[in-house]
Structure 1
Amino acid sequence: MRLFAQLAWYFRREWQRYLGAVALLIIIAILQLLPPKLVGIIIDGVTNKTLSEGKLFGWLGLILGTAILVYLLRYVWRVLLFGASYKLAVELRQNFYRQLSRQHPAFYLRHRTGDLIARATNDVDRVVFAAGEGVLTLVDSLVMGLAVLIVMATQISWELTLLSLVPMPIMAAVIKRYGDQLHQRFKVAQAAFSSLNDQAQESLTSIRMIKAFGLENHQSSQFAEVAQDTGLKNMRVARVDARFDPTIYVSIGMANMIAIGGGSWMVVNGHLTLGQLTSFVMYLGLMIWPMLALAWMFNIVERGSAAYSRIRSLLQEAPCVVDGTVPLSPERSVLEVNIDSFHYPVNSASALQDVHFNLAPGNMLGLCGPTGSGKSTLLALLQRQFDVTQGSITYQGKALSDVVLDDWRARMAVVSQTPFLFSDTVAQNIALGQPDATPEQIEQAAKMACVHDDILRLPQGYETEVGERGVMLSGGQKQRISIARALLLDAEILILDDALSAVDGRTEHQILQNLRQWGNNKTVIISAHRLSALIDAAEILVFNKGTVVQRGNHETLAASAGWYRDMNRYQQLEAALDDVPAQEEPV
């Protein structure tokens, strides 16, 4: 029953729908009391030979009319009640998606994709089912049960009614115990379902690698283990679930036995007529549904409560990066970075320390260094995916932590080192940040990213579906489409996080030339392993173990002893060897 208190905010808001459905349920419950009463009248009339043929057909017509009216009213309350519960589903999923979009990478370090999908689908369905069927069965069982009890007690015999209710308190206590067990076991089963979702999602997204390494059987056995564990935990739920109906039927059976035994004695002694006992047994038969509905209500509400607790725990999780309140003015400004120290939330070791530089509008900043030296971490801080642990990053003299996130991110276009394409057309992927872009603008961005010719060679050109995550494209094509997407935004700051790693040297050179033409007054930040991409940078920062070990332009760094000079010579030698034509083997 906790779920009804947890969803009280929604019931109050949609009170008209729920009140209308409850009112119709009460009317239906009252109408359902007529047939047993009329059957008792008919039986007593036939037994006493006082029932005429006209009255018999009149009573039968009234029973038929009642059945038709109940059918129509049931249709109306279903529209009201389930319409409200489906609105709840839409709202919960909207809130859930909004919460996911507000979160930052630290959140996704704690939560896996499969678990989030399970909460957004399976858990929401359970809550909605409880808000619809749960409310129905609660009202229907209470109204119908109380109405039947009142009629049996006042119209037939209150003594026989009390006698028939002896098994009910025992049944209620047993069902309450089953409900508590079901809540805990279903919560565990839902967590197991999340793990199963995780396993399926990871296997599907990495299917190419699995096939490349011949791991199909290994992955299948792992999935089978997770599926078996999920099945066992769901079986524990089913064991509790299976106890509800037998408990109800045993209780109803005992109540019928007591009613028939006691009622027969009352008929023999003249306290009841045979028609009244027949009506009483029929009324008692009507109690089967309220009792089953009550048990079913406990079942689905406990499931819904366990699911809602999983959803609410995620909805109440505050973002680790809090949105600022200070807006940015339209003019451009110097980006000032003064990072004394930064470490990730899950790691106490410093990922960056003593990183200080200023980047003037329209300049290009280059970042390089060994793998894992802190380049991508710096770019994540500039995008404010995390907040600086010690120090500050300021723009227009305002700390990024105080600035409205949308204002800051609207000034940036980012191409990450792992480009992501949606399962849509090439044109729609390029126009992701500017949906109203014209075909000419999309093509111009593709030409600057040197991917226009590749697109034209696709089966439907710009209207070609790229598949999930761009599965039908090469790594270089995906990178260049991502660059075109960023260029189309025409943002003030362009960030390229090793975004040219999958293209050949000649294409890289052409893209950089196009960037120089495009970005005469744009601020560009490039992180790259190929140093040829950094030649035009006004300043280059060389990272090693999270700190800046060298800085300067290309000429200065290439002439100074250190990592940059060594890597530059190595890459020049590698390029020279690639340009030497292969000599023919002697015959």
Structure 2
Amino acid sequence: MKELQYLNKYFVKYKIRFLTGILITIVAQIFYLYTPKLISNSIASIENYIKNSETVDVYFVQSQLIKNILLIIATTLLAGLLTFLMRQTLIVMSRLIEFDLKNEVFVQYTRLSQQFYKQNRTGDLMNRISEDVGKVRMYVGPAVMYTINTFIRFAIVIGYMYAVSPRLTLYTLLPLPILSYAIFKLSTEINKRSTFFQQNLSNLSSFSQELFSGLRVVKAYALEKKQQQKVIALSAESKTKAMELAKSNALFGPLMIALIGFSNLIVIYFGGLMYINQSGGIMHIGQIAEFILYVNMLTWPVASLGWVSSMVQEAAASQKRINEFLKIESELKSGDQSLKEVHGAFIFDHVSYRYEDTNIQALSELNFEVKSGETLAIFGKTGSGKSTLLNLIARLDDADTGSIKMDTINIKDYNLQELRSQIGFVPQDAFLFSDTIANNIRFGNELASEEEIVQAAKMAAVHENIENFAQQYETVLGERGITLSGGQKQRVSLARALLKNSPILVFDDCLSAVDTETEEEILDNLKKFSQNRTTFIVSHRVSSAKNADKILVLEDGKMIQFGTPEELLAQNGYYRELYLKQLSEKESA
């Protein structure tokens, strides 16, 4: 139960529902458990009439039986209504807790850095927010409800039984220590097997998610059978874990019923002896029947102990997996400095960054300045640290040493959400959602009108392509925008950033899949759009830097050149060589 203590805050939050549910349960059990007493009285009346038929009025006995029958019907209906209200109170509470917990897990996922997602697989993350939270809901809902119901019923039944015959009550409850020991042993085993099952289910979900995402690659390499064999192997392992868990769960029901049956035999035997001897409080047969009804009324609560215990153990295993993520502290801490007016002047002061997972030094001692409204083009070979530099600007990662200042203030001091809201970011790998093209562009500005969406698409030179689609802007894209070409995805992603209308623009090689003619059109549009906006452009084409105020060249994370295009062309170095090479290729073409 240690891991499940995390959920206590939700019971406090919904304490009115919780306490109301407990109160309704108590009242329902009082009505429900009044039936055996009425049956006992009815049998006692019949027994008394049989023994004393000459002195007892038969009509009086009939009226007593009819009265008892009506009372049984009334109490049963009331108990049924209250049980319905109990479920409406406690089960609805569990759904509310499930809603809150899923939101809490999701918010935590959004807080965590990119490093976290490099170390954890998507399938596992999805399994924890769906399957694991579902297991936890079964604890806060049915498990809690049946536990309360069981304890209240036990308390009331034992009270009723004790009032009739303390000695027979003691005999009836003799099997309970055996029951408690069995529950303890089985619960421990279920907890262990449930943890193994959930871990294996996460592995299967992760593999399936990756397989579906990379299905085109699998088909291209004709590896369907090999991947199918892996799925079969993982599924077989999952089945084995599930069967092991099911075997443990299956032991509870028969064990509980056997113990209840044994209690019934005890009641019949010892109750019969007490009735014969007129001792131990058993004075008529109706009291034995009353005891048997009480014992059988405990059948479901006692049997449910196994089910409840199983749910609690599974929930504990799942909550432990959830807590592992909820307890992770993000390396990215939000500051409390608000952004009132953004000019976009950046200063990099001895900035260095090393990737924790690979230990690669991505950036080393960067020192440069970009003034407000300037455009900086960043060049360098693959792996030189260009994308890492842009990630630091948007605070997707934080520098290990040194500082990045925007408008003279360290960006770590700014409110994280406010900082990112001022940046229009186009990543190297354009990501589109399984939604309409219009909504994918609108992702940058939810309040944008259709005219603004079209204008952004025109600036990104993708409007004509969209117009040629059958549904135009209402065309629903496949997963990750798979129905579009690479160049179209990049341009839709660019339109999204332009629609955001941010004072800072960050473009990470976002025109690599675009032909040179379209690139020229986009760059001309960007020149007009980026006036008075600080812009960072990563590219491998010198043509992308034609409107740049400054150029930065990186090599192995170090700055080897920095200056205006004219200054760098006058120097012998990487930029001049790249410029002359691409100019020669263009002329020969």
Give the shorter-chain TM-score range.
over 0.9
Task: Report the counterpart of residue 583 of structure 1 in structure 2.
Answer: none
Per-residue CA deviations over 1:201-245 (Å, capped at 9, x if unaligned) read 111111122112212111111122222222222222222212212
Per-residue CA deviations over 1:375-413 (Å, capped at 9, x if unaligned) read 001111111111111111111211112222123222210
* 1:154 counterpart (163, 179, 198): 163
CA contact (8 A) 2:373 2:534 kept: yes
Map 1:69-148; keep pairs closer than 5 Å.
69-148=78-157
Task: Report the counterpart of residue 371 of structure 2 in structure 1.
Answer: 360
Q: Which runs of 4+ in 1 moved over 6 A?
A: none
Map 1:100-499; keep pairs closer than 5 Å.
100-155=109-164, 157-271=165-279, 272=282, 273-499=284-510
Cα distance in structure 2, aligned partners of 1:314 and 1:346: 18
CA contact (8 A) 1:341 1:389 kept: yes
Cα distance in structure 1, aligned partners of 2:17 and 2:3: 19
Task: Report the counterpart of residue 67 of structure 2 in structure 1.
Answer: 58
Using the aligned pairs only, state the percent identity.
Answer: 35
CA contact (8 A) 2:374 2:533 kept: yes
The residue matched to 1:48 in structure 2 has which SS?
Answer: helix
Cα distance in structure 2, aligned partners of 1:473 and 1:331: 35
CA contact (8 A) 1:339 1:352 kept: no
Farther off after superposition, 561-570 or 433-442:
561-570
Map 1:519-530; keep pairs closer than 5 Å.
519-530=530-541
Aligned length: 577
CA contact (8 A) 2:3 2:323 kept: no
Instruction: Give, as a single letter, the amino acid of the residue that structure 2 aligns with 1:177.
Output: K
Farther off after superposition, 77-86 or 39-48:
39-48
In the superposition, the TM-score normalised over structure 1's length comes to 0.95
The residue matched to 1:330 in structure 2 has which SS?
Answer: coil
CA contact (8 A) 1:3 1:304 kept: no
Cα distance in structure 1, aligned partners of 2:16 and 2:412: 44
Task: Report the counterpart of residue 585 of structure 1 in structure 2.
Answer: none
In the superposition, the TM-score normalised over structure 2's length comes to 0.94
Per-residue CA deviations over 1:419-461 (Å, capped at 9, x if unaligned) read 1111111111111121111111111111111011001001111
Instruction: Give, as a single letter, the amino acid of the residue that structure 1 aligns with 2:263.
Output: A
Unmatched 5+ stretches in structure 2: 50-55
User: Displacement of 1:331 after TM fit?
Assistant: 4.7
User: Displacement of 1:4 after TM fit?
Assistant: 6.0
Change (3 A) 1:349 1:467: closer
Instruction: Give, as a single letter, the amino acid of the residue that structure 2 aligns with 1:105.
Output: Q
Cα distance in structure 1, aligned partners of 2:545 and 2:320: 51
The residue matched to 1:122 in structure 2 has which SS?
Answer: helix
Task: Report the counterpart of residue 21 of structure 2 in structure 1.
Answer: 21
Instruction: Give, as a single letter, the amino acid of the residue that structure 1 aligns with 2:529.
Output: W
Task: Report the counterpart of residue 42 of structure 1 in structure 2.
Answer: 42
Instruction: Give, as a single letter, the amino acid of the residue that structure 2 aligns with 1:416.
Output: P
CA contact (8 A) 2:150 2:301 kept: yes
CA contact (8 A) 2:373 2:531 kept: yes
Unmatched 5+ stretches in structure 1: 580-587
CA contact (8 A) 1:423 1:465 kept: yes
Cα distance in structure 2, aligned partners of 1:333 and 1:142: 65
Instruction: Give, as a single letter, the amino acid of the residue that structure 1 aligns with 2:231.
Output: F
User: Displacement of 1:333 after TM fit?
Assistant: 4.7
User: Displacement of 1:159 after TM fit?
Assistant: 1.0
Cα distance in structure 2, aligned partners of 1:27 and 1:288: 20
CA contact (8 A) 2:344 2:503 kept: no
User: Displacement of 1:198 after TM fit?
Assistant: 0.5
Per-residue CA deviations over 1:256-303 (Å, capped at 9, x if unaligned) read 222222222222323332222122111111121221122222111121
The answer to whether residue 543 in structure 2 is matched with residue 535 in structure 1 is: no
Cα distance in structure 2, aligned partners of 1:334 and 1:8: 48
CA contact (8 A) 1:107 1:320 kept: no
